[in-house]
Amino acid sequence: MYKHYLNKACQLVGKAYNKIKSPIYITASRDHVSAIVLRQWTDFSMTFNRYCDSYCTLEEFNEPSFKAMADFEFINSRFQVLVYRFNEDYIWLSFKNHQNDTLRDWRDFQRIKNELCGTSCEGIEFYPPESRLVDTSNQYHIFVSKPNVSLGIGYMKRDVITTQREVEMIAPKAKQRTFEEHHYSDNVAKIGPLWSMYTLIEQDKETERPVRIYEDILADYYLKNI
């Protein structure tokens, strides 16, 4: 019975894809089958800025629970991202998809890191010892280093194949999902807007709190990368 419903779901998804041409993912359990249609990727918009007068009052700024104490919030068609300065060397991106489920795509995570922090930055997901495990919601986390700072782990050279046809020419049995448009990084800056904004915050730290309009940085960033 379970396989029957799963097969029916796959058939319906196939028909839907032919109409809308958007990525569709199926999630299934013993008693539930659902299909998620992903909206076309859009640029991130800053929807909260703790350091800007136009976004929150002084009382809100000092309220520990306000926006989960994040410095910034960014939202696009698929994700909500909360941003923290973890320490002097790292930005902490804490994010979830709009379905608030366990659907994850590594390429989307790479795009979040690239678009907000820059293509020259390295980021890591952390898998802790059980004594430090935090698992309370479908939230994901990437810790991103400063631009052009190597963490000293991972592959040392780039090697990317973007289509199934290309990979079959090298390894006929291998599988490679074709890139969506936003998976390419050609139009993304090496240094993203977040590190630029944190640099200004450090310059303004002698005041009670910065009041720069950081939307100007974002506007300039996107104009250069259209």
Q: Label residue 44 exposed, middle or buried (CB < 10 Å: 0-12, 13-18, 19+).
A: buried
Can you tell me the mean pLDDT for 147-173? 93
One-letter identity of residue 193:
P
Between 213 and 154, whose confidence is greater?
Answer: 154
pLDDT-derived band at 188 (thresholds 50, 70, 90) equals very high
Can you tell me the mean pLDDT for 161-174? 92
pLDDT number for residue 68: 74
pTM over 0.85: no
Between 1 and 195, whose confidence is greater?
Answer: 195
pLDDT digits (tens, 9 = 90+) for 140-157: 999 999 999 999 999 999
Of all residues in the chain, the percent with pLDDT exceeding 70 is 67
pLDDT digits (tens, 9 = 90+) for 56-91: 666 766 665 567 788 889 999 999 999 999 999 999
pLDDT digits (tens, 9 = 90+) for 76-85: 999 999 999 9
One-letter identity of residue 169:
M
Can you tell me the mean pLDDT for 34-43? 76
